[in-house]
Chains A and B, each alone.
Chain A
Amino acid sequence: GESVGLHLPTLSVQEGDNSIINCAYSNSASDYFIWYKQESGKGPQFIIDIRSNMDKRQGQRVTVLLNKTVKHLSLQIAATQPGDSAVYFCAVIDSGTYKYIFGTGTRLKVLA
């Protein structure tokens, strides 16, 4: 089955800098990927998604990059703000079981 891993459990960045959070998946047949943000005491909140027919997708201050060759997904946050402090998860659809498989999350800390 599908497995999803995040490269760093914690990432600290200076306010105003760009943040890059990475995620790796195992199944080359996966075709839909999502990034979620989870703030303390809250449930995960959808940030952005990307389908496998795309390499890049941009939202407001966020960009998701998909490299299907190495099965790698990244979330870039531009001009990181204190409000961006949260845990970020990637989720991948397991095409075999039709279920979401989540990574364990990267905690982003924004330093003033």
Chain B
Amino acid sequence: KAGVTQTPRYLIKTRGQQVTLSCSPISGHRSVSWYQQTPGQGLQFLFEYFSETQRNKGNFPGRFSGRQFSNSRSEMNVSTLELGDSALYLCASSVAGGLRETQYFGPGTRLLVL
């Protein structure tokens, strides 16, 4: 079974631009969560989608948004990029998003904002 895939793997943007990242979960998984990983803060939860609905949200500004499609693929968007948005963005999928379900992570998209 293929793992979680994320595209693109690397991205360089400039301040003020916007970016869209994509995540394809493991086949059969309907829950997708997004995380931001930085050296200082570690992994921080952005949001979780299940059946095309956002079920949970972390403490990030409204510039961070996401969506999920009927095939469970998910995208996240960051508008008006800031230097501090430079990070590794990880998505994780699970069957139904239950708290005690194992989440499977993708390799991440490394975003550099100049």
Contact = CB atoms under 8 A, between A and B. Distances in A.
A89 B105 contact: no
Contact of B104 (A32, A34, A46, A49): A46
A89 B41 CA distance: 12
Contact of B99 (A42, A43, A98, A102): A98
Contacts of B102: 34, 46, 49
A98 B56 contact: yes
A45 B45 contact: no
Contact of A43 (B45, B56, B100, B106): B106
Interface residues of B, number: 22
A93 interface: yes
A99 interface: yes
Interface residues of A, number: 23
Contacts of B56: 97-99
A44 B43 contact: yes
Contact of A104 (B42, B100, B106, B108): B42
B16 interface: no
Interface string B20-58: 000000000000010100001111110000000000101
26 contacts: A36-B105, A42-B107, A42-B108, A43-B92, A43-B108, A44-B90, A44-B92, A45-B105, A46-B102, A46-B104, A51-B100, A89-B42, A89-B43, A91-B43, A93-B99, A97-B56, A98-B56, A98-B99, A99-B45, A100-B33, A100-B103, A101-B45, A102-B42, A102-B43, A102-B44, A103-B42
Nearest first, the 4 A-B pairs at minimum CB distance are: A43-B105, A104-B42, A102-B43, A44-B105
Given A51-B100, A89-B43, 14 more contacts: A42-B107, A42-B108, A43-B4, A43-B106, A43-B108, A46-B102, A46-B104, A49-B100, A49-B102, A100-B33, A100-B103, A101-B45, A104-B40, A104-B41
